[in-house]
Amino acid sequence: MNASLRLRAGLVSIVLLAAFLGIWHLATRSTGTVATMSPEYAKLMGLTATQDKSAMPGPLDVGAKLWEHLRRPFYDNGPNDKGLGIQLGYSIARVGTGYFLAVLVAIPLGFLIGMSPLLSKALDPFIQVLKPISPLAWMPLALYTIKDSSISAIFVIFICSIWPMLLNTVFGVASVRKEWINVARTLEVGTFRRAFTVILPAAAPTILTGMRISIGIAWLVIVAAEMLVGGTGIGYFVWNEWNNLSITNVIIAILLIGVVGMLLDQILARFTRMVTFPE
Amino acid sequence: MTGKFISIEGIAKRYPGAGGSTTAVFENLWLSMARGEFCCVIGHSGCGKTTVLNILAGLDAPSEGAVIVDGQAISGTSLDRAVIFQSHALLPWRTVLGNVGYAVSSKWRSWDRAKVRAHAQTFIDLVGLTGSEHKRPSELSGGMKQRVGIARALSITPKMMLMDEPFSALDALTRGTLQDEVRRICLETGQTAFMITHDVDEAIYLADKIFLMTNGPGAVLAEVVENPLPRDRGRTDLHRHPLYYALRNHIIDFLVTRSKSFTAEKPDHDPRNVPVVHIGKPGLTIASGSDEQRQTWIPGTSPGLTA
Ligand SMILES: Nc1ncnc2c1ncn2[C@@H]1O[C@H](COP(=O)(O)OP(=O)(O)O)[C@@H](O)[C@H]1O
Ligand SMILES: [Mg+2]
């Protein structure tokens, strides 16, 4: 029953993909009609003008180019021509560093705030103001103070991934069931042991959910941040290829951004499943 | 069975009410229990039973007054007083063995893993859960979960057990078996037990003394009813005992009518000397609350049990 549902869903997915690729192909193919124009102009404009070829690449162009990229993901021909693997690597490293630093700050801090009603109330106004700030708004300030574009990008990732983790940790810790806390209290379990044996496991699913939201946001933000700071990374690649008017490469980059984002999300989803307990 | 093992001395619990006033759940409540005694509290919802139990457990502090256990005023929770929660309160990410073991390792910090395990296993066996050690709470039925709760409470070999309506969420059949188990274990180990219940028959079966509380706010402990049934009573033939109906009617009567009107009818009620009711004794009911005058049950002298 379940297997057959999955099979049918898979089939529908494939049909939808095929339909999408088909329409894409039809919409972008060259019709072969030759417009009357001066030969110089025709030469300048290439197939777009002469055979009414759409400026938009078709799925076959993208596929061929993608294959080319996948065969040589790590080549490095100087600052403006690096393999996609290298560019993605830079982005993932920045996201990883900023995110990891955010985890180190958000989870202990969230624990403190969640366990202390005083801190919770005292810090609430700051969090409320800081949380809605677009992470990119920090960029000029970061560039001015840090004076290093790559570290500034990491800082922006740090700032954008800290809030969901912090708020979820606070919420998870503060809403641990009273009866579980009471169990620990009647067993005279000390604060420290209580934090690790009761509060952490009880809040873990909520914390991990926050971490999952954060990694998603971090991956969204890194593309924009790298477009701003330039140099390396998949965001810079997209911007650079747009300046080169290579729509094919832009499409490939979009596709890869999606795939990497999905993988990051799946990793966190797996961790979340590991700490989730049935009640 | 004499002396005051637990003594609640003039406790009050007040909460801030609407508009700056305070409402007292109860004021000046006195209550005592002897070592090895099984006491049940009966009263309507909201009269403050859970509050009393939480204060006894040390989970909650009284606004006034003190609780003396074994000659010492309590402050906070203690491993000497185990609580069996109404909602079992098992840690869902731990197995049965993990839950009981958590309590064991909390009491004996220096024990190694094998020793904790062996000790926990003893109590899992005691409540009849052998074979389910590695199941998680979500894989257990309501009755089994409550058994784990009982095993966890017993595993720390407490001086007393506090139970807040431990069986109220269970079906009648499971409740019956668990009542049998709890009674057996408490008799075997000489536990002092304090149990809140809504079930009059449960109180009659389990308790040596039944505390009747009036309705809140401003609830008072109205009477202490001595259970006249023999110690070796069985759950299924309770109702054959000649004093059973008198006892049951007395409690039901209290719950239905007197719990509301008690405070108005007895303005001279002395909370320090709560009347002790002896059902079926000629001259009946009221004696003073002191220990010397309490009639203890002597096996074999029960009128009419042989019928
Ligand atoms: N935190 C609280 N704030 C205000 N009132 C409370 C609080 N906790 C309990 N109460 C009141 O105390 C009374 C007694 O509650 P409880 O001990 O739970 O009653 P019972 O267990 O007998 O049903 C109730 O009327 C309840 O409204
Ligand atoms: Mg209650």
Residue B45 amino acid letter: S
pLDDT above 90 for B273: no
What value does the mean pLDDT of chain B take?
87
CATH 3.40.50.300 fits A84-275, yes or no: no
| Pairing assessment for the beta strands B276-278 and B221-226 based on DSSP bridges | parallel
pLDDT single digits (tens) A136-195: 999 999 999 998 988 999 999 999 999 999 999 999 999 999 999 999 999 999 999 999
Going by C-alpha positions, the residue among B7, B5, B44 that lies closest to residue B165 is B44
Cβ of A208: how many Cβ atoms within 10 Å?
23
Going by C-alpha positions, the residue among B88, B81, B30, B36 that lies closest to residue B56 is B81
Average the pLDDT over each of A25-29, A220-224, B245-249, B286-290 and give the range with the smallest value. Answer: B286-290
| Structure token digits, residue B37 | 């005694």
Ligand 1 atom, smallest distance to B15 CA = 4
Ligand 1 atom, smallest distance to B54 CA = 17
B268-296: average pLDDT: 64
Q: Which CATH class is domain B6-80+201-306?
A: alpha beta
pLDDT above 90 for A113: yes
Q: What is the ipTM of this complex?
A: 0.84
pLDDT above 70 for B228: yes
Map out the domains of chain A as residue ranges: 2-56, 84-275
Average the pLDDT over each of A91-95, A199-203, B235-239, B295-299 and give the range with the smallest value. Answer: B295-299
Average the pLDDT over each of A49-53, A78-82, B13-17 and give the range with the smallest value. Answer: A49-53
Please, which pLDDT band fits residue A33 given cuts at 50, 70 and 90? low
Q: How far is the CA of B49 from the centre of ligand 1 (A)?
A: 8
Please, which pLDDT band fits residue B170 given cuts at 50, 70 and 90? confident
pLDDT single digits (tens) B65-92: 999 999 999 999 999 999 999 888 999 9
Give nearest CA residue, ligand 1 atom 16: B48
pLDDT of residue A47: 59
Q: How far apart are alpha carbons A187 and B11 in whole angstroms?
A: 24
Map out the domains of chain B as residue ranges: 6-80+201-306
For chain A positions 161-190, those within 8 Å of chain B (CB to CB) are 177, 179-180, 182-183, 185-189
A12-30: average pLDDT: 93
pLDDT of residue A41: 67
Residue A238: burial class (beta carbons within 10 Å; 0-12, 13-18, 19+): buried
B306 CB within 6 A, ligand 1: no
Read off the pTM. Answer: 0.84
Q: How far apart are alpha carbons B160 and B80 in whole angstroms?
A: 7
pLDDT above 60 for B39: yes
pLDDT single digits (tens) A63-73: 999 999 888 88
pLDDT above 50 for B294: no
Cα nearest neighbour of A190 on chain B: B106
pLDDT above 90 for A75: no
pLDDT above 90 for B236: no
Q: Which residues of B touch A180 (CB under 8 A)?
A: 89, 91
Q: How far is the CA of B288 from the centre of ligand 1 (A)?
A: 30
- Greater confidence (B190 vs A40) lies with B190
Residue B263: burial class (beta carbons within 10 Å; 0-12, 13-18, 19+): middle
Quick one: CA torsion of B291, B294, B297, B301, rounded to 10 degrees? 140
B5-20: average pLDDT: 91
pLDDT of residue A21: 95
DSSP codes joined into one string, A28-91? HS---PPPP--HHHHHHHTHHHHT---SSPPHHHHHHHHHHHHHSTT-B-STT-B-HHHHHHHH
- Greater confidence (A145 vs B307) lies with A145
B47 CB within 6 A, ligand 1: yes
